[in-house]
Amino acid sequence: MRYVKIFDNIAKQITRDGVAKLGEGYEKTDDVNQADAILVRASDIRDLDFGPNVRCVSRSGAGYNNIPIERCAKQGIVVFNTPGGNSNAVKELVVGMILVNSRGTLDGMRWVQSNADDPQIVKDAEKNKKAFVGREAIGRKVGVVGLGAVGSKVANALEALGLDVYGYDPYLSVEHAWQLNRNVKRVDSMAELCRNADYVTLHVPSKDDTRHMMGAEMISLMRDGAMLINYARADIVDEPAVDAALRSGKLGRFVCDFATPLTTKMPNTLITPHMGACTAEAEANCATMAVSQMKDYLEQGTIRNSVNYPDCDMGPCHTGGRIAALHANVPNMIGQISGALAQSNANIQRMSNEAQDGSAYTLIDTDQPVDAATMEKLRAIPGVYRIRQIVPAITR
Ligand SMILES: NC(=O)c1ccc[n+]([C@@H]2O[C@H](COP(=O)([O-])OP(=O)(O)OC[C@H]3O[C@@H](n4cnc5c(N)ncnc54)[C@H](O)[C@@H]3O)[C@@H](O)[C@H]2O)c1
Ligand SMILES: O=C(O)[C@H](O)COP(=O)(O)O
């Protein structure tokens, strides 16, 4: 039996409509020390003591700034996320927000609500509508920051609506480049993207080089009365700078998914409570991906969509043994691992080694199970964070 500690309402997804059920051989546990794996959504587990057994953490969602990925890497815990699983949900909300907020829609709706008891409402509505004149988005310049799963979809959708779309992403992946409409103009700097933009929408992860990337300097380049949209993470914007720009009229509207002590006090601001990914479809997609990645890792050693280890997939094991080693990305690890195996009873049949930044992963199929003494030798190699024998099937 394998045990899974589930944080957040991802639990609902796992039981609802049979979506992403954990399946046979798995049980939920409340005890992290008993858990082989953790499933998490928004809970902040940066300070969690992972205990001795946790082998992986699977985040149902895109952002992973609630998980200590570097500490996990060094403890031999693989962290997964579910890229793309909720990107359509965010795209639909962002595009909707841009269109709705370009018009006097919300003020108009508020007017109707506050005049609900007016017996002359039909006549007065016609008289008052001139106060809610908006603008059309077609032909206007929009800058999309980050052209990943969400940003590329937002850029394409806005292009299809007739906006003049610019994208900035110095680390654009080949996969997302293929998905981008060729009319989306790529620029090399944030300044170029922001200059004379009517809209800027943010779709980057929270990390050192993106934190506060949208501040006074970039806002000053945008067109007067422009709209800023943040459905990425709260700290991508410099909040005091956005507040000041809204108060001076430089920014006409701020739309964001993050209620903070300051955003809730900003004028001309529309805030949703971090609900970009809150659709039944996105929640099911992410839960399904999170569970299947977790199970493939526990059962076969396959790593797919990890954020702290490289991808590695040898499929199911067809030989007598499989071992998996998570280790530092330093010279001579393969030499030491294969050297220890050479002195053992087992013969290597197939092997894959992948490295990414400071972490590396070696998956080895052997003709027969590796004996316990050799496993201990492998475990003792400096730089090996964790090693396990997957085949024959481990009980935990
Ligand atoms: N509001 C929500 O509910 C919601 C939902 C999904 C994602 N998000 C947030 O949006 C972010 C993006 O999601 P995604 O699924 O598109 O992720 P993604 O990883 O597919 O895309 C992120 C993109 O940002 C780019 N990038 C990284 N650093 C950059 C920089 N300094 N400048 C410009 N581009 C940079 C990357 O190259 C990548 O293409 C997530 O990290 C998450 O924080 C929020
Ligand atoms: O990073 C994400 O995927 C989004 O911010 C959604 O987060 P959530 O799963 O906590 O709603």
Residue 240: is the preceding peptide bond cis (ω within 30°)?
no
Q: Is 252's C-beta closer than 6 angstroms to any atom of ligand 1?
A: no
Q: What is the rounded distance in angstroms from the CA atom of residue 92 to the CA atom of residue 298?
A: 35
Q: Which ligand is nearest to the CA of 200?
A: 1
- How many Å lie between the centroid of ligand 2 and the Cα of residue 264? 20
Q: Is ipTM strictly over 0.95? A: yes
Q: Which ligand is nearest to the CA of 283?
A: 2
Cβ atoms within 10 Å, residue 257: 23
pLDDT of residue 119: 98
pLDDT of residue 12: 75
pLDDT of residue 17: 60
- How many Å lie between the centroid of ligand 2 and the Cα of residue 63? 6
Task: Tell me the pLDDT tens digit for each residue of 274-308.
Answer: 999 999 999 999 999 999 999 999 999 999 999 99
What average pLDDT values come out for the chain (396 residues) when binned by 10 residues? Answer: 90 67 89 96 96 96 97 98 97 98 96 98 97 96 98 98 98 97 98 98 97 98 98 98 98 98 98 96 93 96 98 95 97 96 93 97 96 96 96 67
Q: Strand, coil or helix: what is 385?
A: strand
pLDDT of residue 22: 87
pLDDT of residue 24: 87
Tokens of 359: 């972490």
Strands (E), 122-189: 141-145, 164-168, 185-187
Report whether 386 contacts 298 (CB < 8 A).
no
pLDDT of residue 395: 47
pLDDT of residue 192: 98
Q: Is 85's C-beta closer than 6 angstroms to any atom of ligand 1?
A: no
- How many Å lie between the centroid of ligand 2 and the Cα of residue 192? 29
Q: What is the pTM of this model?
A: 0.94
Structural domains for the chain: 1-85+280-309 (3.40.50.720), 87-99+137-271 (3.40.50.720), 312-396 (3.30.70.260)
Tokens of 326: 């998570």
Nearest ligand 1 atom to the CA of 205 is 41
* Dihedrals phi, psi of 296, to nearest 5 degrees: -60, -35
Pocket of ligand 2 (CB under 6 A): 41-42, 61-63, 86, 274, 276-277
Nearest CA, atom 8, ligand 2: 42
Q: Which residues, 6+ apart, have CB-to-CB distance to 13 below 8 Å?
A: 19, 20, 60, 283, 284, 286, 287
Least Cα distance to 297 among 83, 58, 32 occurs for 58
Nearest ligand 2 atom to the CA of 63 is 1
- How many Å lie between the centroid of ligand 1 and the Cα of residue 207? 10
